Amino acid sequence: MEKTEIIRHNPFKSENNFLNLLDLSLDNYLISDALFTSCKLEQVQGKKLVFVNCTFQACVFESLDLSNCSFENCAFRDCLWTACKFVACKFNNISWKRCFLKHNQWIGSQMDDNTLELIYGQEKSVEDYEEENTTQWSFVLNG
């Protein structure tokens, strides 16, 4: 039987301000219709997380390790993604505004056009990081 962690306190209420999650493991969790403002998620591991109709404003995502997670109808504004790993994740109908990506891995993930545009745009604009050879790009195109 697969181990499922039980969250006794639900940090993902409808509005989350200044949430700081560090070194946490989340599995099989649905987060919907939530607003995250000025939050930091660092060294969070997640499997089969589903985010639906969520907005992330001024959030920092650092060293996330996500697999088989899904982001559906979500918006990211003024967010920073650093050293995150996405394996077989799905991004559908995502809105990105003023977000920056640095040293992330996208392995076997399905991307919508907005996400692909952000990733390709960031890849071209961060030539300084290409020398370090730390970013891996692997895509599965929708449709």
Predicted confidence at residue 16, as pLDDT, reads: 60
Highest average pLDDT, of 9-13, 36-40, 84-88, comes from 84-88
Domain ranges of the chain: 27-141
CB 62 within 8 A of CB 82: yes
pLDDT over 60 at 11, yes or no: no
Beta-bridge partner residues of 35? 15, 55
Rounded CA separation 16/140 (Å): 32
What is the model's pLDDT at position 132? 40
Cα 16 to Cα 127: distance, rounded to the nearest angstrom = 35
CATH of domain 27-141: 2.160.20.80
* pLDDT beyond 60 at 75: yes
Q: What number of residues does the chain have? A: 143
